[in-house]
Chains A and B, each alone.
Chain A
């Protein structure tokens, strides 16, 4: 799933310009019609409806106007929520990169059998329920959790620290939850680097640090960008973790949207929030993709 944004491998048989038997390589495009129709009705139509509803000026949906967007974009509170959400994504991405890159390196160094086991350990958080993973963090960060228990036992503090409903705790929890999304593309990118290059660098007298910084790191830049993209997108949309670990104090875009939609039943405003959120995510994905494309050229140069 992390290879979602990797380019499709080149296909020698179905290449254009090759005469003869195209039907062997590619099946009829009409086989995609069922899913295409399904997506048209149940994916594209809802999104179009979402855009439409966001243009209603009032909660009871009687007249049109840009009021909802004005309400969001001119409101300091709403903008702060958006800013806090994007900043959270940046913090989580930075932490996962700092910890994930060494783990990816370890995975590429490991022998085959150990590598399979390590990969499974990395994959497991992705497969377990998000509620379970978040609950584990509540256990760790809570007043009676292991961190506070250790701190109290070591005598470093007299009363349990409030770790649970803080931004630091949230960043840590999200980093663990999203770590596989960073590590897996990095492993792919690192394993594609020609090992002879590192050997050549060492033969020319460069130390381990220098080889890493000047050879390995630039060459795995596309993987870093892919990992950052996935982690960022997942961190800012992580509804459950944000609300369980963040608590009521910190409001982020997903919960903001949910509150407006369900408790307050203000669908037009909720739709506007959703569209602003969608646009923000798409903008970030586009930026990441652009950087990724540029870095690919740099890596192959």
Chain B
């Protein structure tokens, strides 16, 4: 291959733009983490000095902690419901040539494209019409609608990549359907379910549009609490909370990458 100016200019241009893109992707996260260690009171970067005072302030931030706990509980229940309902649905529609399966597939994935804010309002209307007051239950129900598509998608993908010969061998060796499901299918699709469940959990934890409409006044959710704190006053405590969230996310993502090959499953 001729390494001439044309070759160099192309690769240089690509590397330059790609580098810019990587900086754009990573810089905000890095800056938040650095700013959270500031000794000052403002969000100046670079910070005038470094200290752990804002993490100490986090210990006393009762509101943030309560909101984080609520988000955790709701996300937990949402993930459980999404995994149960989504896996069952994925089993039914994966590898099926029937029209009903294709339609159901589109239906179950449609919440991903539609504006969640519109759905949140619609769900609120339904609950108030039915006379159901908003509560953690309505939150879980609303979150499940927008989070289950992630489980369905990754589980269907895992089922499609499963070699059907394994199932045939299992049955030809005399195993019942339930046994085959338990000992052959489930272990093979477990990484797919795990990846989907992880995304569903993060999506529920971070969800704002649906939470805005479906929570009651007493239930504070972490992203909304942080958003309100940001709008009210740019508090460095929010930076400390953000850094902790980033750390937890990174750790979980690395664990998921090892356990379920997360990057492969999401990159298609």
**A: which residues have CB within 8 A of B?**
1-4, 6, 8-9, 11-16, 21, 23-32, 34-36, 38-39, 42-43, 45-47, 49-50, 53, 98-103, 105-106, 116, 118-140, 142, 144-146, 149, 172, 175-176, 179-180, 183-185, 187-188, 202, 207-209, 212, 233, 237, 239-240, 244, 253-254, 257-258, 261-262, 267, 270-271, 274-275, 277-278, 281-282, 285
Contact = CB atoms under 8 A, between A and B. Distances in A.
Contacts of B31: 136, 139-140, 146
A202 B168 contact: no
B114 A281 contact: yes
B267 A120 contact: no
Interface in B153-187: 153-154, 156-157, 160-161, 164, 167-168, 171, 177
Contact of A127 (B161, B171, B249): B249
A116 B156 contact: no
B125 A130 contact: no
16 contacts: A3-B157, A13-B95, A36-B107, A99-B20, A119-B263, A123-B266, A129-B223, A139-B32, A139-B43, A140-B28, A144-B45, A207-B7, A239-B209, A258-B212, A261-B121, A274-B117
Interface string B90-124: 01111111101100110111011111111101110
Contact of A270 (B101, B121, B123, B145): B121
Contacts of A8: 105, 156, 160
B62 interface: no
A120 B253 contact: yes
Interface of B: 1, 4, 6-7, 9-11, 13-18, 20-22, 24-29, 31-32, 35, 42-46, 84-86, 88-89, 91-98, 100-101, 104-105, 107-109, 111-119, 121-123, 125-126, 129, 141-142, 144-145, 148-150, 152-154, 156-157, 160-161, 164, 167-168, 171, 177, 199, 202, 205-206, 208-209, 212-213, 222-223, 226-227, 230-231, 234, 238-239, 242, 245-246, 249-250, 252-254, 257, 262-263, 266-268
Nearest to B3: A208
Contacts of B84: 34
Contacts of A98: 17
Given A38-B85, A145-B43, A233-B113, A131 B226 contact: yes
A139 B35 contact: yes
9 nearest A-B pairs in the assembled complex, by CB-CB distance: A3-B268, A136-B28, A46-B122, A208-B10, A102-B17, A207-B6, A32-B92, A31-B92, A274-B118
Contact of B199 (A1, A116, A130): A1
Contact of B263 (A116, A140, A254): A116
A142 B209 CA distance: 25
B141 A42 contact: yes
B63 to A, nearest CB: 15
A249 to B, nearest CB: 14
B226 A209 contact: no
Contacts of B113: 233, 281-282, 285
Nearest to B71: A129
Given A13-B95, A43-B145, A135 B32 contact: yes
